[in-house]
Structure 1
Amino acid sequence: MTDYFRIVNTTLDDTLDSTRPLAGIRPENLDDVAKIAGRLVPHVAQWAGKYPLMGGVGDAGSRIVFACLSSATAFPHRSLDELVDWSALALTLFALDDVMDGVVLDYSLEQLVQFTEMCLAVGKGNAPTPADRVSDPEAQVLAALRECSGRFAKYPAYAKLQGYVTERWNRCFTAMCQESRWRLHGEPPPTLDDYLANAVWSFFVPLYFAVATTTLDPDDLSEDALGTWDKVMHVGSRAMRLCNDLRSAERERAEGSLNALALLTRSGHTEPDAIAAILAEVHESLAELDARIAELQPSLARIAGALLRTTHFYCSWCLARDTHGLTIGLFRQLLASHKENR
Structure 2
Amino acid sequence: MTRSFVSRPGVDETMIVVGMASPAPTDVGVRGKHFEITRKLKNEYSAEEYRLFPQAAQARVFELCNRLMPELAEWCERYPAIAASRVQSTALTGAVAAVPGSTFAQNVLLTKVGLITFAIDDIADGELGELTEEERLWMMDRYLLTVESPGSEHWDAARGEAECVGAALKELTLELMAAPGAGRFGWLWREHFRRMCASHQAELCSKRLFQSERLLPEFEDYLQAGQWSISLPMWAAAVLMVLAPEVEHELSEDPLIEDILRELGLLVRWTNDIRSFDRESREGKSNALTLLMQLGMSEAEAELEAARQSSVHLRELEALTAMLPSCLEEWGRSVVRTGRFCRNVYLKQEFHHWQS
| AA of the residue aligned to 2:265 | S
RMSD: 2.6
Partner in structure 2 of residue 241 of structure 1 = 269
State TM-score, norm by structure 2.
0.80
Inter-CA distance 314–13: structure 2 relative to 1 (3 Å threshold):
farther
Quick one: higher RCO (CA 8 Å, sep 6+), 1 or 2? Answer: 1
Would you say 1:26 and 2:26 are equivalent positions? no
Partner in structure 2 of residue 194 of structure 1 = 221
In the alignment, structure 1 segments of 5+ residues that lack a partner are 1-7, 336-342
After TM superposition, the structure 1 stretch with the greater mean CA deviation from structure 2, 116-125 or 105-114, is: 105-114
- CA shift at 1:297, angstroms? 1.8
Inter-CA distance 109–273: structure 2 relative to 1 (3 Å threshold):
same
Distance 1:51 1:222 in 2: 36
- Contact 1:157–1:218 under 8 Å retained in 2: no
Distance 1:141 1:247 in 2: 26
Distance 2:297 2:349 in 1: 23
After TM superposition, the structure 1 stretch with the greater mean CA deviation from structure 2, 238-247 or 24-33, is: 24-33
Inter-CA distance 151–81: structure 2 relative to 1 (3 Å threshold):
same
Residue by residue, what CA displacement relative to the aligned partner does 1:237-269 show, whole Å, maximum 9, x if unpaired? 111111111111111112222211121122221
| AA of the residue aligned to 1:67 | T
Would you say 1:298 and 2:322 are equivalent positions? no
**Does the residue aligned with 1:155 lie in a helix, a strand or coil?**
coil
Partner in structure 2 of residue 316 of structure 1 = 344
Would you say 1:70 and 2:93 are equivalent positions? yes
Match of 2:173 among 108, 132, 149: 149
Partner in structure 2 of residue 39 of structure 1 = 67
Residue by residue, what CA displacement relative to the aligned partner does 1:48-102 show, whole Å, maximum 9, x if unpaired? 122222222xxxx2x1111111111111432222111111111111010001011
Partner in structure 2 of residue 4 of structure 1 = none
- CA shift at 1:219, angstroms? 5.3
Moved over 6 A (4+): none
State TM-score, norm by structure 1.
0.83
Distance 2:130 2:266 in 1: 28
Distance 1:150 1:9 in 2: 46
In the alignment, structure 2 segments of 5+ residues that lack a partner are 1-29
- Contact 1:130–1:143 under 8 Å retained in 2: yes
Partner in structure 1 of residue 15 of structure 2 = none
Distance 2:205 2:110 in 1: 30
| AA of the residue aligned to 1:249 | F
Would you say 1:105 and 2:129 are equivalent positions? yes
- Contact 1:200–1:237 under 8 Å retained in 2: yes
Distance 2:335 2:103 in 1: 18
Residue by residue, what CA displacement relative to the aligned partner does 1:8-43 show, whole Å, maximum 9, x if unpaired? 9831566323397x9585115211111111221222
Would you say 1:10 and 2:32 are equivalent positions? yes
Distance 1:201 1:281 in 2: 17
Partner in structure 2 of residue 209 of structure 1 = 236
- Contact 2:197–2:229 under 8 Å retained in 1: yes
Distance 2:278 2:239 in 1: 32
Partner in structure 1 of residue 193 of structure 2 = 169
Inter-CA distance 127–322: structure 2 relative to 1 (3 Å threshold):
farther
Aligned length: 314
Distance 2:133 2:140 in 1: 11
Distance 1:320 1:304 in 2: 24
Residue by residue, what CA displacement relative to the aligned partner does 1:137-173 show, whole Å, maximum 9, x if unpaired? 1111111111111221222220233333222222221
**Does the residue aligned with 1:53 lie in a helix, a strand or coil?**
coil
- Contact 2:227–2:265 under 8 Å retained in 1: yes
- Contact 2:144–2:193 under 8 Å retained in 1: yes
Residue by residue, what CA displacement relative to the aligned partner does 1:275-300 show, whole Å, maximum 9, x if unpaired? 11111111111111111111112222
Would you say 1:279 and 2:307 are equivalent positions? yes
